[in-house]
């Protein structure tokens, strides 16, 4: 065995720093690699096939079945021997406008979340990118840290802040009373859902934006200034177009999870704030209509993956044009 050991290949071929170029180092496929490949790769592969790929496929199949009488799925072959495969649930999704409306509403909330995150994140990312190396990691860490606290705790925090007895509600409703307006509830409203969505999504906008802004060449801005561009023009004509790949990446990272969220509208939303996530939860845990719930989940996932694909494509195209 020892005599068949390979010669170390040149370091350069491996691309030490860029993980992506490592893929090119195909020279490392050795004859005995196949055994090691299976020993090391098979257990995680098998686990993910069983506990991720199989459930997903089963769900795709379930979306073409009929709901069972007492929830779940109807028997695959009924008394007459007919195979239970149909597109009824898809037809229902397309023909009943109430579901499309929920999707539109979710997309609307996700869009607003993305815009507000962008507005908040841009100055923050700019500041971090312009800070000296010494503080940069700390400032970034401070952005990420809240993300590691429990998701429910972050929702709960807004229950406290927006609660009817809290200072904010008293202030808002006191002001409204001055103008003779009726008090508005802050909690259990679309406003609460939106604020919390922005809150939990913000780090995902800051990170890609920062990663992009940090690479900008100051010389370009200096050149623009020399050519007589004012601060606004420098931002709008130089910095912002250059930062678009970061914006797209951040938008994808914010929009897609926001689209499928269910805990936030479930806890902070009012009765009208039913989003896709809540609809899916209802289908599985309350109505127990699995086929329809599966259809909703699949439509959501396909929409999310398509958006991610578009964001990646637009980002790459934008990067390519400038290169």
Partner 1 sequence: MRRRPAWLWAAAIFAYAFLYVPLLIVVVYSFNDSRLNAEWVGFTFDWYRTLASDDQMLKAAGNSLMIGIVVSFVSTVLGTMAGLAMHRYRLRLLPILIVAPIAIPEILMGVSLLIFFVLLNFTLGLVSVALAHIAFCIGFVAIVVRARLAGMDETLTEAARDCGATPASAFRYVTLPLIMPGVIAGALMAFTLSIDDFVITFFTAGAGTITLPLQIYSMIKISVTPEVNAVSTLLMLLTLLLIVVAAKLSPTLLPSERETTP
- Of 12, 69, 132, 226, the one binding partner 1 (CB under 8 A) is 132
- Taking residues 208 to 247 in sequence order and writing x for each that binds partner 1 by CB under 8 A, - otherwise, the string is x-xxx-xx--x--------------------------xx-
Positions 264 through 323 that interact with partner 1 (CB under 8 A): 267, 277, 280-281, 284-285, 290, 293-294, 297-298, 300-301, 304-305, 308, 315
Contact positions with partner 1 (CB under 8 A) in 76-95:
none
Nearer to partner 1, 37 or 101 (CB): 37
C-alpha distance across the termini of the chain, in Å: 48
What separation in angstroms does the CA of 45 have from each of 41, 53, 119, 120? 6, 10, 41, 40
| Only segment of 30-38, 78-86, 96-104, 176-184 that touches partner 1 (CB under 8 A) | 30-38
Residues 192 to 211 in contact with partner 1, rule: CB under 8 A: 199, 202-203, 206-208, 210-211
Alpha-carbon distance of 184 to 129, in angstroms, equals 40
Alpha carbon distances (Å) from 191 to 37, 139, 150, 277:
52, 29, 22, 18
Q: With contacts defined by CB under 8 A, name the span among 77-85, 88-96, 123-131, 175-183 that binds partner 1.
A: 123-131
Taking the least distance from each CB to partner 1, the nearer of 193 and 246 is: 246
CA angle 35, 40, 45 (to 5 degrees): 110
Among 89, 113, 140, 292, binds partner 1 (CB under 8 A): 140
User: Cβ 25 to partner 1, closest distance in Å?
Assistant: 9
The upper half-sphere exposure of residue 65, i.e. CA atoms within 13 Å in the direction of its Cβ, equals 21
CA distances from 8 to 1, 21, 25, 28 (A): 16, 18, 12, 9
Specify the residue, 88 or 166, whose C-beta has the smaller distance to partner 1.
Answer: 166
Q: According to the binding rule CB under 8 A, does residue 13 interact with partner 1?
A: no
Please give the C-alpha separations between residue 211 and each of 132, 140, 170, 207, 214, in angstroms, as whole numbers.
15, 11, 40, 6, 5
β-bridge mates for residue 232, sequence order: none
Q: Does 73 bind partner 1 (CB under 8 A)?
A: yes
Q: Taking the complex as a whole, how short is the minimal distance between the CB of residue 202 and partner 1, in angstroms?
A: 7
- Please spell the DSSP secondary structure of 12-39, one letter per residue: HHH-SS-HHHHTT-GGG--TTHHHHHHH
The interface region with partner 1, picked from 14-22, 80-88, 174-182, 233-241 by CB under 8 A, is 14-22
262: contact with partner 1 by CB under 8 A: yes
The reply to whether 107 sits near partner 1 by the rule CB under 8 A is: no
Cα dihedral 216→219→223→226 (10° resolution): 120
**Cβ–Cβ under 8 Å, residues 246 and 207:** no
Residue range at the interface with partner 1 (CB under 8 A); choices 94-102, 178-186, 232-240, 262-270:
262-270
Longest pairwise C-alpha distance within the chain: 90
- From residue 147 to residue 176, the character string flagging contacts with partner 1 as x (rule: CB under 8 A) and all else as - is -xxxxxxxxxxxxxx-x-xxx---------
Residue 255's closest CA among 103, 107, 102? 107
Q: Which is nearer to partner 1, 90 or 156 (CB)?
A: 156
């Amino acid at each position: 065995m020892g005599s068949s050991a390979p010669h170390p290949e040149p370091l350069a071929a491996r691309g030490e720093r860029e993980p992506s170029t490592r893929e090119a180092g195909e020279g490392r496929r050795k004859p005995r690699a196949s055994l090691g490949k299976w020993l090391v790769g098979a257990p995680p592969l098998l686990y993910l096939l069983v506990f991720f790929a199989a459930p997903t496929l089963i769900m795709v199949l379930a979306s073409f079945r009929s709901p069972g009488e007492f929830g779940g799925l109807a028997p695959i072959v009924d008394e007459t021997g007919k195979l239970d495969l149909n597109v009824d649930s898809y037809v229902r999704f397309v023909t009943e406008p109430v579901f499309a409306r929920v999707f539109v509403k979710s997309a609307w909330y996700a869009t607003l979340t993305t815009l507000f995150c962008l507005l908040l994140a841009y100055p923050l990312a700019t500041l971090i990118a312009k800070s000296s190396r010494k503080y940069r990691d700390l400032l970034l860490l401070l952005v990420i840290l809240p993300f590691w606290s429990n998701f429910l705790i972050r929702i709960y925090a807004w229950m406290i802040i927006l609660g009817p007895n809290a200072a904010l509600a008293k202030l808002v409703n006191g002001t409204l009373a001055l103008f003779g307006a009726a008090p508005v509830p802050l909690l259990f409203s679309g406003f609460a859902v939106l604020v919390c969505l922005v809150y939990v999504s913000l780090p995902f906008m800051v990170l890609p934006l920062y990663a992009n802004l940090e690479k900008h060449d100051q010389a370009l801005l200096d050149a623009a200034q020399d050519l007589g561009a004012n601060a606004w023009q420098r931002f709008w004509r130089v910095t912002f177009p250059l930062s678009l790949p970061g914006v797209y990446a951040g938008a994808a990272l914010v929009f897609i999870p926001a689209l499928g969220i269910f805990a936030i509208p479930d806890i902070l939303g009012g009765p009208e704030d039913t989003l896709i996530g809540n609809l899916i939860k209802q289908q599985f845990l309350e109505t127990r209509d699995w086929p329809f719930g599966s259809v909703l989940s699949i439509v959501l996932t396909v929409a999310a993956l398509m958006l991610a694909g578009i964001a990646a494509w637009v980002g790459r195209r934008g990067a390519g044009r400038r290169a």
